[in-house]
Amino acid sequence: MSLKKLEPLLTDKLAELQQQGLCKGNEKVVTGMKAAADGFGPRYFLEGFGDKAFLRMNSNSYLGLAMHPLVIKAEAAAAEKFGTGPGAVRFISGTYRPHIELEQQLAEFHGRESAMLFSSAYTTMTGVLPQFISADTLVVSDALNHNCIINAIRLSHPASKEIYAHADIDALDKILEAYKGRVKRVCLVTDGIFSMRGDYAHLGKISACCKRHEDAYEQGIISIVDDSHGVGAFGQTGRGTEEYTQGKADILIATLGKTFGVNGGYVVSSSTVIAYLRETSPFYIYSNPITPAEAAAAGAALDVVSSNDGLRLLDKLRVFSLRLRSGLEDLGFETLPGEHPIIPILIRNTEKTTALVAHLLANNILVTGLNYPVVPQGEQEIRLQVSAEHTEKDLDCLLAKLADFRQ
C-alpha cells in the first residue's frame, strides 16, 4: 500500500484550488495575548511576527466571554472535578451532570421545552436537518445560507429543493403556493444572522408566510433556524434573531463557540423533537460530547449574558457597532445598515480587497477579506466584527488606518 499514486492527484487539486482563489492558505497562529491597557483593548501576538501586537477585528467572541473570569473559573473547577474529557459518547458513559445542567439552562434561555448538545454548531445542523427530511419533503432554503445548511441538505435526499432569493418573502410565498399537493411536508431552513453580511432573516414574516400555507400540507411546514451569529450578540437581551424580529423557529440551532466563548453546538425545540433526535441523529449518538468543563464554562457564560453585566455588554456592543458603521460611512466606505456586530465593508473588487487586508495587517490590525469565488463577483468585502472587548481607542485606530488607505 502506498500514497505515491494518490499524492500527485491531491497536489493537482490543491493547485486548482489555489488558481480558483479557494485556498485558505497558512493559518495565523496566536502565540500569546497582551491584556487591555492604556484605553486599548486586548492585543494578540502571532507566530512569525515577533513582538508586534495585533488588534483583532475578525473574532466571533462578541462579548469577550472567553476571557471572563467567571467563565474561566467555572471551566477550571469542572476540569478539576471531572477531568479533561468525557471518555465516551453519551449513551455509553459520556454524559456528566454539567451536560444535563447546560441543556436545562439552554432550554430555559430560549423558552423551549428541551435542548440537546452537539460537538459543534456545524455538526448540529448536519445532524438535525436530515432527520426531518423524507422522500415526501420539500426543502426551502435562503440563497445566502451557511455552508453547514448546504451540506446538510445534500445529506438529506429530499423530494425537491428550492432556493429563494435572499430574504425575499414574496419568493418564499410563491414556492409554498406552487408545491401544494406535490409534497406532504415542507422544511424551511435559514440562517438567523447571515455570517457574510450581518443582516438577518425576517423570522416574524417567515413564520406568518408559512402559517398561511401550512394547512395545505399533510405533514405541515417546519422551520429550522441556525442563529449561531445571533444568539448572545443580537436582540435586547441576547436572545438573537428571534427576539429582534419577534418570530420563532420550530427548531433553533446555535453555537457555544462564538458569543458564549467556549465550544460546541446545540438545538432547542419541543421535548418530543429532542427525544427523537437523541435516538436518530448519528452526529450525536456516535460523537463524543463537549467536555464537562466546557459545559460548565458555557453555563457560566449563559449566566453572564442573563445578568446585568450581560445587558451592559450587549448595550456596549450595539453602541460600538453603530459607531463603527457611522465612521465607515463618514469615510466614504460602503457598508450595510443594522445593529449586528458583523459589519461588512463592500469593496466589490478583488485586488482592492486584498490590498486593504494587507494594509491593515501591516498596521497591526487583523481582518478577514472575502473575495470571488467565496462571494459572488462584485460582492467582495472586508468583514469586520466588533467585540465588547474593544474600546473607543480601538475603533478610532481602525478608522484612522482605513482613512490612510482611502488617501
Question: Which tens digit of pLDDT belongs to each residue from 285-315?
Answer: 999 999 999 999 999 999 999 999 999 999 9
Catalytic choice (258, 316, 340, 390): 258
Cell of 357: 487586508
269 labelled catalytic: no
Query: From the candidates 229, 316, 340, 390, which is the catalytic residue?
Result: 229
Q: Please identify, among 261, 279, 306, the residue that sits at the C-terminal boundary of a domain.
A: 306
Which of 278, 306, 334 is the last residue before a domain boundary?
Answer: 306
Known catalytic membership, residue 258: yes
Q: What is the CATH number of the domain that holds 285?
A: 3.40.640.10
The residue type found at 398 is L
The answer to whether residue 180 is catalytic is no
Tell whether 256 and 385 lie within a shared domain. Answer: no
Catalytic residue of the set 59, 141, 195, 228: 195
Mark whether 238 and 383 lie in a shared domain: no
Q: Which helix (H) or strand (E) holds 46?
A: strand 43-46
Q: Are residues 219 and 330 in the same domain?
A: no
Name 200's Cβ contacts closer than 8 Å, sequence gap at least 6. Answer: 192, 193, 194, 230, 234, 241, 244, 245, 338, 340
Cell of 5: 499514486
Question: Which tens digits make up the pLDDT trace of 313-337?
Answer: 999 999 999 999 999 999 999 999 9
Q: Residues in the chain with pLDDT < 50?
A: none
**Measured distance CA(298)–CA(286) in Å, rounded:** 22
What strands lie across the sheet with 381-385, from one edge to the other?
A: 342-346, 381-385, 368-370
127 in the same domain as 203: yes
pLDDT at 25: 80
Q: Specify if 15 maps to a domain.
A: no
pLDDT for the residue 22: 78
* Domain assignment of residue 179, given as a range: 69-306
CA distance 28 to 192: 29
- Give ∠ CA 269-146-356 in degrees, rounded to 5: 140
Structural domain count of the chain: 2
pLDDT of residue 327: 97
